[in-house]
Amino acid sequence: MVNNGKSNVGIKLNKNRLNDGNNRRKISVKIRGLFYVFGVILIILLAFVVYSKATSKFRYDKFDDVVEINYGDKYSLKAPIVCYGSRISCGEVKATIKGKVDTRVIGEKTIEFIYKYKKKRLILKQKIIVKDLEAPKIVLNDEKIKVCPNGKVLKLDISVNDNLDGDITGKSKASLQGKELIVEVQDGSGNKSSKRFVVEPNDDEKPVVTINGKKEMSIVKGLDYVDQGANVKDNCDDQITIEKIGEVDVNTVGAYKVTYSATDSSGNSSSVERIINVKEREDGDKVVYLTFDDGPGASTQALLDVLDKYNVKATFFVTNQFPNYQHLIGEEAKRGHAIAVHSLTHKWNIYDSVDAYMSDFNAMNDIIEQQTGKRTKLFRFPGGSSNTIYCGHNKTAVQDIISAMNESGNVYFDWNLDSKDAGGAKNTAQVVKNVTSNMRNNSVVLQHDIKKFSVEAVEEIIKYGLNNGFTFKALDESSPAPHHGIHVCK
C-alpha cells in the first residue's frame, strides 16, 4: 500500500496527455467532415448544372391541335404556354403567331405558333375549323295553333331563323304526338332544333262536296245515263270516299235525285244533290244532219246498227269504191236513211267535163236504183263544191255541173260541221270533240263511214245531241243546204 500515492500522480499525468491528443484529433475530424459536406454539395450542384444543361428543351402541356369554332362567334387565338429549360427551371417563351382566323368564313385554317429561345425554334400548329355549330331558332308568332286529329296542321304561325341559312321556316316539320305538336327543323349544316307545343287537336269542319257537270240535267228516255260523279275536299282528310245514293231509271219518264255524300274521319258530313229529268224526246227546233261519205264499206254495217239503236236517221253519200258492200246501199234505204250520190269512182277525172261528171253521177244513180228501187236527186261533190282540184281538169267544171244539175232538179250539199276525220282528227275522241263542241241547229256534219275510228264516234255524238235537245234527221230536197262557194280557177 506504500506506492499508492506515486502511482496515482503518474496516472493523472498520463491522463492529461491523453486528453490533449483526443481534442486535436476531434477538431481535424470536424474539418474533414465539413470538407466532405462541401464536396458532396459541390458535386451535387455540378451534377445539377450538367443535368440541367443536358435536359434543357422547350416544354409545354398538351394542347388542342384541332379547334372548332362556331360560325360568326368572336374568337381570339390563344398560344399554348411554352417554356424553355429543364424540369427544375424553365423560363416562359413568348410566341409569335402566324395566320389569322375569320369566323365569318366557313372552313379550315392552320395557325402556327412560333417560339424562339436563343437559336432554338419551336413551331406548334393548330388547325382552326370554322363551322356552323348553332342550331336554328324556332319562334312561335301566334299562340293559336290548329291541328287536325290526324296530325295535319291547319294553322301554325312560326318563324325559324338560322345564323347561317337565314329564314328556314319552310324546312320545319310538325308532327303530332298525343296532345303535343312537335316542330322539328334542321339547318343546312345538320344542326337540329325542336319545340313542343301543347295543342287540342280537333276538326269540326264539314267536307265540301262539289258536283261534276250540271246540278240539274235532262236526258232522253231510253238513253244511257252516265253519272259524272262528284268531288270532295276536306280540311283534314286527304282521302274521303263519296257515297252515291239514288238510281236513275232511264226507261221511265220522271225526275230522279242522286245524292253524293261524304263523311270525314271526325264524323263531319255533307252532301249535294243532282236532279236528272228523264224526258220523252221532243222534236224541237234544233236539228242535226249526220252525213257519211265514201261508203259503203267495212264499217258501214256497224254504223247502221248504232243509228238503229238510237232511232237516228242519217244521210249516206255513196260511192262504188268497194263493190262488195254495194248491198248495204239497199240496207241503208231500208232502215230509213237518205241515199245521195257522191261518185261512182271518186276519181278526179270526173271533173274533166260536165259530161264526164254526169256519166259518173248517172252510173252511181243506176246502182242506187238497183239497190233501193229509186233514183236520188241529192249529191255532194267529191272534195266539196269549193274544191280546187277541178281546176287542173276543167276550169269551169263545178260551175257548169251546178248549172246542169239545177236544170235537172238535183240539189247538192256541202257541210257546215267538219268532223275532220279526213285530216286533223286522228282518233275517235277527237272526232267526238270536233262534232259535239260545234253542234248547232241545222248542222250538216261531215263524216266518212269508211273510217272505223270515225264510225266509232257516232254513238257519243248521238248521245250528246239527244241529251242536248237535238233531233237527228236525214237530208231531203228541201233541207237547208250549206254551200261553200265555188273556187274560181286562175
Site residues for Zn ion per CB under 5 A: 293-294, 382
Least Å distance between CB 294 and Zn ion? 5
CB of 319 to Zn ion, least distance (A): 7
Min. distance of Cβ 316 from Zn ion in angstroms?
12
Say how many C-beta atoms besides its own lie within 10 A of residue 172's C-beta. Answer: 19
Q: Which is nearer to Zn ion, 84 or 351 (CB)?
A: 351
Helices 300-309 and 327-334, packing angle to 10 deg: 10
Sign of the dihedral through C-alpha 464, 466, 468, 474: positive
| Nearer to Zn ion (CB atom), residue 148 or residue 450 | 450
Output the smallest distance, CB 346 to Zn ion, in A.
6
Q: Which is nearer to Zn ion, 294 or 418 (CB)?
A: 294
Closer of 337 and 380 to Zn ion (Cβ): 380
What are the φ and ψ backbone dihedral angles of 297, each rounded to 5 degrees? Answer: -150, -160
Q: How far apart are CA 433 and CA 448, in angstroms?
A: 16
Between 265 and 387, whose beta carbon lies closer to Zn ion? 387
How many residues are given for the chain? 490
Q: ω into residue 296 within 30 of 0, thus cis?
A: yes
- Cell readout for 78 is 390563344
Residue (136 or 382) nearer to Zn ion, CB: 382
CB of 293 to Zn ion, least distance (A): 4
What is the C-alpha separation between 125 and 142, in angstroms, rounded? 51
Nearest residue to Zn ion by CB is 293
Q: Decide whether 222 or 383 has the Cβ nearer to Zn ion.
A: 383
Whether 376 contacts 444, CB under 8 Å: no
In the complex, least distance from residue 407 CB atom to Zn ion, rounded to whole angstroms:
24
The bridge status of strand 90-93 relative to strand 66-70 is unpaired
For cell 225526275, what's the residue? 255
- Give the cell for residue 212: 261534276
CB nearer to Zn ion: give 187 or 449. 449
Q: Least distance in Å: CB of 390 to Zn ion?
A: 14
Nearest to 195 by CA among 215, 213, 175: 175
User: Can you tell me the distance from the alpha carbon of 335 to that of 306, in angstroms, rounded to the nearest whole number?
Assistant: 12
Closest CB 374 distance from Zn ion, rounded Å: 23
CA dist list (Å): 286 to 235, 423, 438, 440: 45, 28, 13, 7
C-alpha to C-alpha distances, 420 to 36, 160, 257, 444, 447, nearest whole angstrom: 133, 59, 38, 13, 8
